[in-house]
Structure 1
Amino acid sequence: MKLYYAPYTCSLSPHIVLRELGLPFELVKVDNATKRTSDGRDFRTISRTGYVAALELDDGQVLGEGPAIVQYLADLRPDSGLAPPPASWQRVRLQEWLNFVTSEIHAGSAPLFNAALPDEAKAFFRQKLFKRFDLLQETLAAQDYLMGAAFSVVDAYLFTVLGWCRFFAIDLAAWPALEAYVRRINARPAVQAALRAEAA
């Protein structure tokens, strides 16, 4: 398998999951500005959307969208516990959280990357995001991970997008359970290995 990634993007999430699972894979870096891969290809010929992450399977098929990729990977090693069994109620709960992170945290953060956005608009998006952080604070004050006591693929995703807070000067200390959650996930060996590989 090949994982197409760009540093500091949501592709870190499937990268973490690949390392958590101990699956063999090749990392291929994508320049998000030029859409060229580190091996000289036009990334848009690999991914129709031009977005990372993209996972290329050994048979040449390409899967996009991080939440789909992480579930696919977890199902390759069902004994890992990184995702509940397909068609189970808990799997539906996992998908509920993945959709929340996608639509409310990931998409909710995206406008803040726009340097041309007026300060009033940025303040609006920040306040909306903070309300979502309040919900996460409440959840994570009662349990270590979004699905309960165990780390799952959705935690890799939430950790990834919360990492963008440093670009927006958002201090997670205002949400102590959320700040502790980020520290807990950051300490995982697979997470550290993914971060080192992307920084190299």
Structure 2
Amino acid sequence: MKLYYAPVTCSLSPHIVLRELGLPFELVRVDNRKKMTQDGRDFMTINPKGYVAALELDDGTILTEGPAILLYLVDLVPHTDLAPPTASRERYRLQEWLAFVNSEIHAGLAPLFDASLPAAAGERFRAKIRKRFDYLEGVLARQDYLMGERFGVADAYLYTVMDWCRLFAIDLAHWPALSRYSERIGARPAVREARDAEGT
């Protein structure tokens, strides 16, 4: 498999999961501005949507969208602790968390990367994120991870997008449980290996 990635993007979450699962893969860096891969290919021919993450399977099929890639990866390894079994009630709870992280945290923070965003609009996005973090603070004050006491794929995704807060002057210290959660995940060997490989 090949994981197309760019540093400081959501592609870090499948990168973490690939390492957590011990799956063989090749990293291919993408220049997000030029839409070119490190080996000189037009990334738009790989993913016409124009963004990472993209996972190229061994048969050449391209899978995109982070939550779909995460679920695909965990299903390659039967009985992994990173996700509940397919069709179980807890698996739907996992999908609920992935949807929340995708639509509320990822989509809530992503506009802040736009340097031309008016200050008032930026503050509206920050205010909404603060409310979502208030909710997560309540959850993570009661349990170590989104699904309970075990790290899983939704945690890899939330950790990845929460890490962007450092770029936008959003101090996680305002949410102590969330801050401890981020530190706990950041200390995992697979997370450190992924970040080292990406230079972040």
TM-score if structure 1 supplies the norm length?
0.98
AA partner of residue 77 (structure 2) = R
How many corresponding residue pairs?
200
Cα offset, 1:79, TM superposition: 2.0
1:59 maps to: 59
State the shift of 1:78 in Å. Answer: 2.2
AA aligned opposite 2:106:
H
Cα separation, 1, equivalents of 2:50 and 2:120: 30
Q: Percent identity?
A: 69
Q: Letter of the aligned partner of 1:61 in structure 2? A: T
- Decide whether the 8 Å contact of 2:3 with 2:54 is kept in 1: yes
In 1, Cα distance between equivalents of 2:78 and 2:184: 23
Structure 2 counterpart of 1:104, which letter?
Answer: E
What is aligned with 1:174? 174
Q: Please report how far the alpha carbon of residue 194 of structure 1 lies from its aligned counterpart in structure 2 after TM superposition.
A: 0.1
Greater Cα offset, 15-24 or 46-55: 46-55
Q: Aligned AA for 1:86?
A: T
Q: Give the letter for the 1:70 counterpart.
A: L
Q: Which residue of 2 aligns with 1:185?
A: 185
Q: How does 1:46-195 map to 2 (within 5 A)?
A: 46-195=46-195
Q: Using structure 2 for the length normalisation, give the TM-score.
A: 0.98
Counterpart secondary structure, 2:73: helix
CA–CA separation in structure 2 for the residues paired with 1:111 and 1:38: 26
Corresponding position: 1:20 with 2:20: yes
Residue of structure 2 equivalent to 1:199: 199
Q: Verify: 1:6 aligned to 2:6, yes or no.
A: yes
- Give the CA deviation at 1:113: 1.2
Q: What is the one-letter code of the residue matched to 1:122?
A: G
* Contact 2:17 2:156 (8 Å CA) reproduced: yes
